[in-house]
């Protein structure tokens, strides 16, 4: 037998098998990407056990604390990026570690009730990498009470050096404790104010009377006034006496503010001049270095209240350096007051972050006289 012929069918069969297999591999398409199921992205979920906590009734000056507990209810790591308290009386601690799924964390909160009285509420913003709740607002609240308080805690005296006169302010001292208290004024040596303490209801309410003794000087002065009590919860109290010199002539606002321009339409601006001095105020000789701008002075209350109005035409452009012929752009009006012979009111653009004055409506009283005008 010829051995070469015997192997021939086997070789052919093997070759045929390889060809078929090769055809099948070539003709089968690759799996479609559209048929693949999308892979869900892991995400954290911030869940608080409570978002509001009530401290209840606390004494003024107490520092109270609370921990807000949260859980990561998602399937990705949770990170608290920022915790922002709503005021300076509240401090918080930001967790510095990531919280794994199913784990818990805390945000400690501290509230200082100093200087606060009555019902109060504060908010705290918690920022996290939770895609569904990236900003959660927590709230704390309390009723802050003062064992013995002064209402109000400051007596303010506005005085005019030209017309000195004595005034009396009364502050109430209230005892909120069950037991009665005794109140007394600590050493007081200031000669500009007289202080007297009177009993309204024995052990419960007192009247602290403060009387000014002119002259009070110039500028603004604030003085502390100390009281002593028999209450261990509030052994001392502090009030304040404030004296503010009232200028005899007030201007509000202190500047005519107008956009640099050009103005798309005519605009009107006004300032008020109020006389608080002893003698009536008289205005004269109105001056303005802005061509095309009309200015008028209305006397609303004879000798006491005036309105200076500027009418800016359409297309008006404020000088680039806010000056004309090396003089500041301003309204000048002469007066009979010895301290203010010339009242100067600047005209300029709004300061950074400020908007221009609102357009001024015409005075309701159409009979208000125009005592001065200029163009």
At 16 the pLDDT is 39
- The CATH number covering residue 197 comes to 2.60.40.10
pLDDT in tens, the chain (375 residues): 444 444 434 333 333 334 333 444 444 555 555 455 555 678 999 999 999 999 999 988 889 999 999 999 999 999 999 999 988 888 888 887 889 999 999 999 999 998 888 899 999 999 999 999 999 999 999 999 889 999 999 999 988 776 678 899 999 999 999 999 999 998 888 888 999 999 999 999 999 999 998 887 777 889 999 999 999 988 999 999 999 888 888 888 888 888 877 888 898 889 999 988 778 899 988 888 888 888 888 899 999 999 999 898 988 888 765 544 445 688 889 999 888 899 888 888 876 444 444 343 333 343 444 444 444
Indicate if 126 and 156 belong to the same structural domain: no
Q: Is 341 among the domain residues?
A: yes
Q: Is 357 among the domain residues?
A: yes
At 329 the pLDDT is 82
At 112 the pLDDT is 92
Indicate if 363 and 256 belong to the same structural domain: yes
Contact present, 257 and 298 (Cβ < 8 Å):
no
At 324 the pLDDT is 45
Q: End of a domain among 125, 145, 165?
A: 145
Indicate if 259 and 239 belong to the same structural domain: no
Residues 6 or more apart whose Cβ sits within 8 Å of residue 117: 60, 144, 145, 146, 149
CA terminus-to-terminus distance, the chain: 135
For residue 237, give the nearest of 186, 179, 168 by alpha carbon: 186
What is the domain range of residue 194? 148-245
Q: Is 24 among the domain residues?
A: no
The CA-CA-CA angle for residues 353, 357, 363, to 5°, reads 165
At 38 the pLDDT is 55
Q: Is 35 among the domain residues?
A: no
Residue 334 tokens read as 């002469």
For residue 271, give the nearest of 237, 245, 246, 297 by alpha carbon: 297
Indicate if 214 and 264 belong to the same structural domain: no
Indicate if 241 and 262 belong to the same structural domain: no
- Please, what sign has the CA dihedral across residues 317, 319, 325, 330? positive
What is the CA 90 to chain-centroid distance, rounded?
16
Q: 3-state class of 172 per DSSP? A: strand
Helices and strands in the chain, H and E counts: 1, 27
The CA-CA-CA angle for residues 108, 110, 227, to 5°, reads 170
User: If 0-12 CB within 10 Å is exposed, 13-18 middle and 19+ buried, where does residue 55 land?
Assistant: middle
Residue 203 tokens read as 């052990």
Contact present, 184 and 227 (Cβ < 8 Å):
yes
> pTM to 2 decimals?
0.54
- What is the maximum span of the chain, computed from C-alpha positions, in angstroms? 149
Indicate if 255 and 329 belong to the same structural domain: yes
* Residue 71 to residues 46, 79, 110, 228, Cα–Cα distance (Å): 6, 11, 21, 50
Q: Is 33 among the domain residues?
A: no
Q: Is 40 among the domain residues?
A: no
Indicate if 157 and 141 belong to the same structural domain: no
At 55 the pLDDT is 94
Q: Is 18 among the domain residues?
A: no
Residue 199 tokens read as 């009993």
Q: Is 99 among the domain residues?
A: yes
* Residue 303 to residues 20, 237, 337, 339, Cα–Cα distance (Å): 115, 45, 11, 16
Indicate if 169 and 187 belong to the same structural domain: yes
Indicate if 160 and 216 belong to the same structural domain: yes
DSSP state of 365: -
Q: End of a domain among 114, 145, 176?
A: 145
Give how many domains the chain has, as a whole number: 3
Indicate if 281 and 369 belong to the same structural domain: yes
Contact present, 71 and 106 (Cβ < 8 Å):
no
Indicate if 134 and 219 belong to the same structural domain: no
Q: End of a domain among 212, 245, 278?
A: 245
Residue 169 tokens read as 């302010």
Distance CA 209, CA 211 (A): 7
Indicate if 370 and 270 belong to the same structural domain: yes
Residue 111 tokens read as 């509230």
């Amino acid at each position: 037998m010829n051995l070469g012929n015997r192997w021939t069918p086997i070789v052919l069969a093997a070759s045929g098998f390889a060809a078929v297999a090769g055809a099948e591999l070539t003709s089968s398409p690759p799996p479609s990407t559209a048929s693949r199921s999308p892979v869900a992205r892991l995400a954290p979920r911030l869940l608080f056990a409570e978002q509001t906590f009530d401290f209840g009734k606390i004494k003024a000056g107490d520092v109270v604390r609370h921990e807000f507990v949260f859980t990561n209810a998602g399937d990705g790591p949770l990170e608290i990026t920022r915790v922002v308290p709503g005021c300076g009386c509240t401090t918080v601690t930001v967790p510095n570690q990531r919280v794994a799924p199913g784990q818990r964390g805390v945000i400690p909160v501290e509230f200082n009730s100093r200087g606060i009285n009555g019902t109060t509420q504060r908010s705290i913003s918690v920022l996290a990498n939770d895609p569904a709740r990236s900003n959660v607002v927590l709230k704390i609240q309390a009723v802050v009470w003062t064992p013995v308080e002064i209402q109000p805690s400051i007596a303010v005296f506005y005085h005019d050096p030209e017309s000195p006169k004595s005034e009396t302010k009364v502050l109430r001292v209230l005892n909120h404790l069950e037991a009665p208290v005794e109140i007394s004024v600590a050493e007081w040596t200031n000669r500009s104010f007289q202080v007297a303490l009177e009993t309204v209801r024995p052990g419960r309410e007192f009247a602290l009377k403060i009387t000014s003794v002119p002259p009070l000087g110039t500028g603004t002065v604030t003085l502390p006034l100390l009281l002593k009590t028999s209450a261990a919860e509030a052994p001392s109290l502090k009030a304040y006496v404030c004296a503010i010199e009232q200028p005899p002539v007030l201007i509000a606002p202190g500047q005519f503010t107008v956009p640099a321009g050009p103005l798309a339409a005519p605009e009107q601006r006004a300032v008020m001049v109020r006389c608080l001095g002893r003698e009536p105020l008289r205005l004269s000789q109105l001056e303005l270095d802005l061509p095309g701008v009309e200015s008028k002075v209305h006397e609303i209350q004879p000798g006491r209240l005036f309105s200076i109005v500027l009418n800016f035409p359409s297309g008006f452009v404020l000088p680039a350096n806010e000056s004309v012929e090396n003089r500041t752009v301003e309204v000048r009006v002469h007066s009979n007051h010895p301290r203010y012979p010339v009242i100067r009111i600047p005209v300029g653009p709004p300061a950074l972050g400020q908007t221009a004055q609102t357009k001024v409506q015409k005075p309701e009283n159409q009979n208000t006289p125009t005592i001065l005008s200029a163009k």
